[in-house]
């Protein structure tokens, strides 16, 4: 009996792999729609973010959303130097976002992605925001905060 159950699960697994499962993907937006000068500004849920012409990316985050090292509450995260991992700046360099910036659309339910100057940020779906640039990344949202 156990062998029949095992064989049945193997057949079911093979059938699922042949049918495939959809993957979540974010819709790309035109960065030109978000440029103010040479900086792309955009808002996503609880954050106001930007990507500068040098590829630096950062977000101002509503209080209570992000914790650096999952311990220290932060209200901003940035990737601004290739030799440093993503990090908070604690407001020392001013704000990253603008309240009057366009909001990234929800897209297909998984949010949208903006790519500009070698940086990519995705957000708007499922409560998460992720940015990558200069070999580093940060993300925050319902699943917590990560920086690399």
Tens digit of each residue's pLDDT (9 = 90 or more) over 75-123: 999 999 999 999 999 989 889 999 999 999 876 667 899 999 999 999 9
Percent of the chain with pLDDT over 90: 64
Q: How many CB atoms lie within 10 A of CB 99?
A: 9
Domain count, the chain: 1
Domain limits for position 51: 25-147
Question: Could you tell me if residue 31 is inside a domain?
Answer: yes
Question: Could you tell me if residue 78 is inside a domain?
Answer: yes
- 16-30, 48-62, 101-115: least confidently modelled range: 16-30
Instruction: For residues 8-29, give the mean pLDDT.
Output: 44
Question: Could you tell me if residue 72 is inside a domain?
Answer: yes
Residue 148 token pair:
């690399």
Question: Could you tell me if residue 34 is inside a domain?
Answer: yes
- Above 70 in pLDDT, residue 14? no
pLDDT on residue 83: 97
Instruction: For residues 42-49, give the mean pLDDT.
Output: 92
Higher pLDDT, 126 or 24: 126
C-alpha 128/C-alpha 110 separation (Å) is 9
Question: Could you tell me if residue 98 is inside a domain?
Answer: yes
- 5-14, 76-85, 101-110, 131-140: least confidently modelled range: 5-14
CA angle centred on 28, ends 26 and 33, rounded to 5°: 135
- Above 80 in pLDDT, residue 17? no
Q: How many CB atoms lie within 10 A of CB 93?
A: 12
Question: Could you tell me if residue 19 is inside a domain?
Answer: no
Question: Could you tell me if residue 10 is inside a domain?
Answer: no
pLDDT on residue 23: 42
pLDDT on residue 142: 78
Question: Could you tell me if residue 16 is inside a domain?
Answer: no
């Amino acid at each position: 009996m156990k062998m029949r159950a095992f064989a049945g699960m193997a057949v079911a697994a093979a059938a699922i792999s042949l049918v495939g499962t959809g993957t979540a993907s974010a819709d790309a937006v035109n960065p030109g729609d978000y440029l103010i000068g040479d900086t792309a500004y955009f808002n996503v849920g609880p954050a106001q973010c930007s990507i500068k012409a040098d590829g630096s990316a950062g977000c101002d985050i509503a209080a209570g959303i992000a914790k650096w090292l999952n311990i220290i509450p932060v209200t901003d995260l940035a990737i601004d130097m290739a030799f440093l991992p993503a990090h908070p700046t604690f407001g020392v360099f001013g704000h990253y976002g603008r309240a009057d910036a366009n909001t990234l659309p929800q897209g297909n339910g998984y949010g949208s992605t903006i790519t500009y100057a070698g940086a990519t940020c995705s957000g708007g779906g499922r409560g998460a925001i992720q940015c990558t640039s200069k070999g580093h990344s940060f993300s925050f949202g319902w699943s917590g905060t990560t920086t690399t």
